[in-house]
Chains A and B, each alone.
Chain A
Amino acid sequence: DAMVIQNPRYQVTQFGKPVTLSCSQTLNHNVMYWYQQKSSQAPKLLFHYYDKDFNNEADTPDNFQSRRPNTSFCFLDIRSPGLGDAAMYLCATSRVGSNEKLFFGSGTQLSVL
């Protein structure tokens, strides 16, 4: 089945140690998003790619970066994780012109020690 896949499901990193989360999709959607969701809060959009065009939200810290080497893959890089970055990170995709509903991956739960 076509889907959005996130790896790993759980990630533990150390304070200040760079970490990369990955997302892949087989839906051939042109938009890919990264959301951060903390406990009891709604998902917060960090940034998104429309094809190769990167769109950063104004309040996304510089500590968060993203790469999209091709249509299928998108990565979230956290350069120096802090304790406050512990959260669920959700990848989602959508296709422009098809009502743009979001298809979510299962998420990566990040812990920072």
Chain B
Amino acid sequence: QKEVEQNSGPLSVPEGAIASLNCTYSDRVSQSFFWYRQYSGKSPELIMSIYSNGDKEDGRFTAQLNKASQYVSLLIRDSQPSDSATYLCDVRSAGGTSYGKLTFGQGTILTVHP
């Protein structure tokens, strides 16, 4: 089993709909969770971070974390064509170092069509 898995894509939603991106992880001691957005040919940019169970909202984005079930999700409300990108889930585990091991999921390609 991969350490971090994202829902297989590509995901296509109509403009104005809710896009739901999911990520599961295997390491129970994972502590920090990040969602990055990457446009084609560009570097990833951080859009959300979450550290405790529950929901965290930032504008049209909501991150949801459930450590018991070992999943983290990203909801994008009122999806816009400009949201079309690859979304990367980044899970940090407590490793032998103070800053943890870095593990990206394989990414989910989101397309929002008008």
* Cβ A99 vs Cβ B32 within 8 A: yes
Q: Are A96 and B98 in contact (CB under 8 A)?
A: yes
Contact A102 B46 (CB under 8 A): yes
CA distance A45 to B90 in the complex (A): 12
Number of interface residues of B (CB under 8 A): 23
Is residue B20 contacting chain A, with contact meaning CB distance below 8 A? no
With both chains docked as a complex, state the minimum distance between the C-beta of B52 and any C-beta of chain A, in angstroms. Answer: 12
Output the least CB separation between A91 and chain B (Å). 9
Task: Report yes or no: A99 in contact with B51, Cβ–Cβ below 8 A.
Answer: yes
- Interchain CB contact under 8 A, B102 and A33: yes
Given known contacts A42-B104, A42-B107, is B43 in contact with A107 (CB within 8 Å)?
yes
In the complex, the answer to whether B92 meets A100 with C-beta atoms within 8 Å is yes
Q: A43-B104, A96-B98 are in contact. Are A101 and B43 (CB under 8 A)?
A: no
Question: Are B90 and A96 touching (Cβ within 8 A)?
Answer: no
Distance between Cα atoms of A23 and B17 in the complex (Å): 39
| Least Cβ–Cβ distance between B35 and chain A, in angstroms | 11
B27 at the interface (CB under 8 A from A): no
B80 proximal to A (CB < 8 A): no
Binding site for A on B (CB under 8 A): 32, 34, 36, 41-46, 49, 51, 88, 90, 92, 97-100, 102, 104-107
